[in-house]
Amino acid sequence: MKKFLILLIMVIFLSGCVEKRIVDEINIAIASGFDPSDGDKKFKTTFLMQDFQEDMSVQNRTITSEGDVRREILIGSNRQSPSPVVVGGMRLTLFEKSIAKKGIKDYIDTYQRDATIGTRIFFATTEGKTEELLKGNYGPQGNGSFISDLIEHNIRQGDVPKTNLASFLQDYYQKGKDVYLPHIKKINDKNVDISGLMLFKGSKALYILPSDKMFYFKLLVDRYSKGEFTVSLEDGSEASVHSIISKHRLKMDKKDPLHLSIEINIKGNIKEYTGNKLNPKIIEAITKNLEEKVEKECIQLVKEFQEKEIDPVGIGAYYKTQIRGFDYEKWKQTYTDLSVDIKSDVEIIETGATY
């Protein structure tokens, strides 16, 4: 009975300890964007809210306010909102290019500290103001869902390597690997486009990898489970390789640690061929063409990274696991001198049904 009383008292007195957030009495921000401030504040934030309509379509509403710390932004946003703004439902955060160039360290700190924000949300950088981008009208599912779905399916099936908050933070805090984020551009009021990948050096954005290099970049840093690539042959015909599954492996030369080889395995199906008849010879030509192209482009990319002293492939992180007493400061010097060669192995598994 005594125990029961204690329990009862506990329940009564502690019942107010949890903050109530009834789902229809809060304003759930689905996306946010950081822009440089127009005034003298540090930055300007745009929250994208979803207004659910009776027919289940979503009306976009944005709230913009300026401030020096994120808390200040929330207070400013609440002044414009009929119900408190909460960030737990966030799926996407955008950084304007100039903000990213100054460094996003301060911004991501709040994301890892706030337990209500999931680690599977997407980060992206934008060409042009995020406010403008979030104010578009992309579809009935709402802009937040539209952009995050856009990134998600391109990670799963397209050329964008995997980046979400969890992997971003892991790479960011890991020595010997630099981060990258998809770069989004607003084409018009109805369309957005992933125009490339923003490569970071530390927390600062460095330069944009154009979208046509993304295929090779993904081969180097991530794995494909359902990629697509078109190979042009010498005779002018083209072959489209589908359902690409790729794996890559870094291999340090044990005798000469300054030599690194990267093996890339690609498996795929030929779904389309513009030439006449597909015979083993042509398949071999396609294989060879693809291999050469991958090797050429990838080595170019790695050299480019070495020149700019960034390491999105994570070569440093790999070396850390291979060398006892790895000295990171010393590694920074040697990274640029590292000789890298790329071996790719392409295998065509299937060529489709022929009659």
CB of 174 to other proteins, least distance (A): 27
**Which span sits near other proteins by CB under 8 A: 85-93, 177-185, 205-213, 323-331?**
85-93
């578009």: which residue's tokens?
Answer: 136
Q: Tell me if 150 sits within 8 A of 160, measured CB to CB.
A: no
DSSP 152-169: HHHHHHSSPPP--HHHHH
Binding mask 30-59 for other proteins (x = CB under 8 A): x-------------------x-xxx-x-x-
* Subset of 90-149 contacting other proteins (CB under 8 A): 91, 116, 118, 145
CB of 147 to other proteins, least distance (A): 13
14 binds other proteins (CB under 8 A): yes
What is the C-alpha R_g of the chain?
Answer: 25
- What six digits make up the tokens of 323? 């060398």
Q: Residues in contact with other proteins, total (CB under 8 A)?
A: 27
Which one, 15 or 354, has the nearer CB to other proteins? 15
Alpha-carbon gap, residue 309 to 102, rounded angstroms? 18
Among 33, 67, 76, 89, binds other proteins (CB under 8 A): 89
> Which 8-state DSSP code applies to residue 23?
G
CB of 49 to other proteins, least distance (A): 11
């971003």: which residue's tokens?
Answer: 168
Nearest to 104 by CA among 43, 194, 175: 43
Alpha-carbon gap, residue 120 to 155, rounded angstroms? 13
Which one, 55 or 307, has the nearer CB to other proteins? 55
1 binds other proteins (CB under 8 A): no
Q: Tell me if 195 sits within 8 A of 204, measured CB to CB.
A: no
Residues 6+ apart with CB under 8 A from 8: none
Binding mask 165-194 for other proteins (x = CB under 8 A): ------------------------------
CB of 73 to other proteins, least distance (A): 20
Query: CA separation (Å) from 188 to 135, 195, 217, 270?
Result: 11, 14, 27, 35
Which one, 54 or 329, has the nearer CB to other proteins? 54
Binding residues for other proteins, rule: CB under 8 A, are: 11, 14-15, 17-24, 26, 28, 30, 50, 52-54, 56, 58, 86, 88-89, 91, 116, 118, 145
